[in-house]
Structure 1
Amino acid sequence: MRPNYAGASSTVTIRIRRWEPENLIFWLTRGKPLALRNLTLSTLALHLNFNIWMMWSMVVVNLPAIGFQLTSQQQFLLVSIPPLVGALMRVLYSWVWSWVGGGLWLGLSTLLLVLPAFGVGQVVQDISAPFPLLLLVAASCGIGGGASASHLSNISFFFPKSAKGFAMGINAGFGNLGVSVAQLVVPLVIAVPLFGAWSGPPQIWGQGGSVSPVWLQNAGLVWLPLVLLVGVLCLLYAHDLPKLRITPRDQWEMMRHPHTWYICLLYMGSYGTFLGFAAAFPLLAHAMFPLQDVSPYAFIGPMLAALSRPLGGWLGDRVGGGVTTLGCNLVMALATVGVYLSLPSADEGGAFWLFLLMFEVIFLAAGIGNGSSYQLAPKVFLIEAGREAQDQGEGLAEAYRRGGRRGAAAMNVSSVMAAFGGFVIPKTFGTALEMTGSFVPAFGLFFAFYLLSVGVAWWFYARRRAEMRC
């Protein structure tokens, strides 16, 4: 029999009628165990969403070797589609969970991952599959990109203010690790007949003088048991908090605030870099250094970015979000120059290890910047609310509630816009290659963007007389 403490009534998931995490007695006696249970389920589900979202990049790099006739531009387009669809999905995910119920949505959105996992497992077995079908399967992988907008928002309401940072750091950090786990796991599982005859025959992988059987369908099928297990666990054991009824209007109002866009730009520079280079790196490295097998290294950069994100939040609290974000963008700009110097030319074969090292630096700086720029939104709008209260003689408690709601809406907008970076970066590489026959113009654009981000961070948030120094 399910517990009825917190005024719970059960449908599919457990609905809670009263939730008071700021009440210390309630939190210690009843609230904390339930909050930790939901944090665990949310983190597992978010991790799987990132697995599905980014596994496609490791599939696409292998398609030509098993017989798919694809140009380099088509390959870069294929890896850019999941981030684009993921960004669009975040618009829906950012508010629909508050109407459906956080726990129920956690389970349903996880079970939706069956579609891309099964779709990838089927399409790679037919080398005659038309390109539009590959685009459709790529788009289905984008379903996994929407989860951050709902899972992080939902879990934040389970915890008191003193523990929100911990909860969101665990949820986002281990969730983002799904990118590197996918890039580590996929090369391993496609090398063995993991599911025997059930999954279908192997494909013949050939590149240069190397020929071997692979089971590329395992890249999608390996996630199916986990998706089903975690989805069912969420439906049985996750909780729905009292309905919050967040609407798109909240986000629309914040889109008219200039600081929302400044923070969007800075978060796109870090989170967009993480997503975009995670999607594009396997293809880019293969195109630049075709004799190097990059699959053993593809997971390292995304792993560094995910693990360093909490450090960015910590530095943002102690050094300042503006200063930390400025420093991260400056490091990414300098490392982009390092990548340019490592590229092959007509006279030289390039320096692969310098190329790899510079990309790891970019990923590390992007991860730290993720943490420092994401926490700018709540700080900026709380500062603004405090100033408004002082000018208007308003109570601080009410002003801070308004500032907190504005900050949450701005974070949702930033999350949506930053995810577009995952589309822009691989698409820019493909366009640059198509128009100029070189990736150098793309790196030039990224360098200019990082310098722009340095200027925005310094002017608005880092300099001594900045309007919102924080």
Structure 2
Amino acid sequence: MTISIQRWEPENLIFWLARGKPIARRNLLLSILALHLNFNIWMMWSMVVVNLPAVGFSITHQQQFLLVSIPPLTGALMRIIYSSLWSWTGGGTWLAVSTLLLLIPAFGVGHVVQDISTPFPLLLLISACCGIGGGASSSHLSNTSLFFPKAQKGLAMGLNAGIGNLGVSMAQLLIPLAISVPLFGALAGTPQIWGHGSEVYPVWLQNAGYLWIAPVLLVSVLCFVYAHDLPKLRLTPRDQWQMMQERHTWYVCLLYMGTYGTFLGMAAAFPLLSRTLFPLHDATPYLFIGPMLAALSRPFGGWCGDRIGGGISVIACYAVLVIGTIGVIASLPDAQSRGSFWLFLAMCQLLFLAAGIGNGAAYQLAPKVFMLQAGREAHARGETVAQTYLRGTRRGTAAMGVSSVMAAFGGFVIPETFGYSLETAGSFVPAFVLFLLFYLLCAAIAWRCYARAGATLRC
């Protein structure tokens, strides 16, 4: 079973160098592996859905966008539970248990895609099960942040989330390869016949789920054996509710939602979006690039937050998101033009890159803002340094949980907005204009609260 630790003082330099640092690094590595698998499972469904009509499933474009929007929605709802449950079971124990739960969607997807008569409600249920992989961030990142001193939290969480988020890119890279060959032979079942125009060939869509079963079992065992449980915080819904009444929680939520929601929503919707806008261009070879850029750049965002300042870094990222969105709008086909696939592809990659850096910069704001706030209130409360640190940590961790939950809803809103925009206006332009206005609002909030010279919580 996991190893229990009763004393943990990362801000104590002697303790950190003598004992804390190697333990923190081990748990960071395990959390990265587990979170990576969670994102593999969370996003695999988008790669399956784009192929369902070609193998015989009778579903509309609107239903496809609904199917890819459900995992982010259920992932956000799962985060409500995950954000406090880990603090009662122990972070290391929860790493192992939550990873084992990924077997449910892995087996579920592998089963339902083999029968083209599967009713749409059952497809929705399996889509919701894939959201199990979305709950992990709120627990894994909060737990990881406790292992590191304040000066290293941004980079640690950036590495954890960045390499974890790389699971989206890996899923979009590996799944097209895995479904093209009989990877598991007769054990996985018979192939489906993929047909589009004159192209006809066998595929094994079930491999999209079965591919992850062995890695899930392996990482679960490693977490059970080598992960650590820190002294339990025992966060409750009351802690979450209290932080929801704090205005800075909502400011951080909006900033993180704009970046993380863009990464998650665009990753889920991009395969369908590209195929709908540019049916003559096969975007499959490029699907993994954007999520990979976002994932790999997230640690850099955490580093920028630590070194340059979270507020300034976030504003810069939102400026690039605005430029990228304008570029995407310029690339879209209309009545007079077929649009530009290559400009569309390039601008989407720019969106992913800015969102990835913004993820790291925005997420590290929560623990820093509330630790700074606790420090400024310490004298009036008559608290010791240890009491102040504990209160700031608890508030920051609860705020991170709330931010993580709300941000995941962005992954649901973006595909749904695309689907609604296409259905009502016959175009994706209104959706992108809405996103553009939201990015401008977030930039203004970051400047006013965390970047300008007179901001009380400038960080």
Q: Per the shorter chain, which TM-score range?
A: over 0.9
Aligned pairs (5 A) from 1:153-164: 153-164=142-153
Which residue number corresponds to residue 249 of structure 2?
260
- Which of 36, 50, 55 is the aligned partner of 1:61? 50
In the alignment, which residue of structure 2 is the partner of 1:444? Answer: 433
Equivalent residues in 2 for 1:198-277 (5 A)? 198-277=187-266
TM superposition shift of 1:242:
2.9
Partner of 2:66: 77
How many residue pairs match? The answer is 459
33-42 or 140-149, which deviates more:
33-42
For 1:115 and 1:317, the matched residues in 2 are separated by 38
Query: Gapped runs of 5+ residues in structure 2?
Result: none
Distance 1:38 1:390 in 2: 34
Measured after TM superposition, the shift of residue 97 of structure 1 is 1.2
Give the corresponding residue for 2:450.
Answer: 461
Q: Percent identity?
A: 71
| Cα gap change, 1:333 to 1:397, in 2 (>3 Å) | same
**Cα drift, residue 30 of structure 1:** 4.5
Deviation string 1:243-277 (CA, Å, 9 cap, x unpaired) is 32121211111100111111111110001111010
Deviation at 1:395, TM superposition (A): 4.7
Residue identity opposite 1:373 in structure 2: A
AA aligned to 1:42 is: S
Alignment map for 1:318-357 (pairs within 5 Å): 318-357=307-346
More moved, 151-160 vs 96-105:
151-160
Q: Which moved more, 1:432-441 or 1:49-58?
A: 432-441
Letter in structure 2 aligned against 1:286: R
C-alpha RMSD of matched pairs (Å): 1.8
Q: Secondary structure at the match of 2:200?
A: strand
Code of the residue aligned with 1:119 in structure 2: it is G
Counterpart selection for 1:124 from 94, 113, 120: 113
The structural deviation recorded for 1:314 is: 2.1
From the superposition, tell whether residues 460 and 159 of structure 1 become closer, same or farther in structure 2 (CA, over 3 Å): closer
Go from structure 1 to structure 2 and tell me whether the alpha carbon gap of 1:468 and 1:158 turns closer, same or farther (over 3 Å shift): closer
Structure 1 gap ranges (5+): 1-11
Shift of 1:390: 5.0
CA distance in 1, matches of 2:385, 2:34: 37
Matched, 1:89 2:78: yes
Displacement of 1:43: 1.4
Q: Secondary structure at the match of 2:135?
A: helix
Pairs within 5 Å for 1:327-406:
327-389=316-378, 395=384, 397-406=386-395
Supply the AA of the counterpart residue of 1:355: F
Name the SS for the 1:242 alignment partner: coil
| TM-fit CA distance, 1:434 | 1.6
Give distance in 1, aligned partners of 2:412 and 2:27: 31
Q: Tell me how far apart the structure 1 counterparts of residues 8 and 373 of structure 2 sit (CA, whole Å).
A: 28
Once residues 452 and 51 of structure 1 are traced to their aligned partners in structure 2, the CA distance between those partners, rounded to angstroms, is 32
SS at 2:285's partner residue? coil
Q: What amino acid maps onto 1:215 in structure 2?
A: W
Q: Which of the numbers 304, 313, 319 marks the counterpart of 1:315?
A: 304
Please list the CA deviations of residues 300-321 of structure 1 after superposition, one character each: whole Å capped at 9, or x if unmatched: 1111111111211222233321
Aligned 1:412-451 pairs, distance under 5 A = 412-451=401-440
Give 1:182's aligned residue: 171
1:49 maps onto 2:35 in alignment: no
Aligned AA (2:330): L
- Give secondary structure in 2 for the equivalent of 1:157: helix
Give the residue type in structure 2 aligned to 1:439. Answer: F
Displacement after TM superposition at 1:405 (Å): 2.2
Q: What is the CA-CA distance between 1:106 and the residue it aligns to? A: 1.3
Comparing 117-126 with 436-445, greater Cα deviation is found at: 436-445
- Per-residue deviation, 1:410: 1.2
CA spacing shift, 1:13–1:401, aligned 2, 3 Å: closer
**Cα drift, residue 26 of structure 1:** 5.0
Equivalent residue letter for 1:65: A
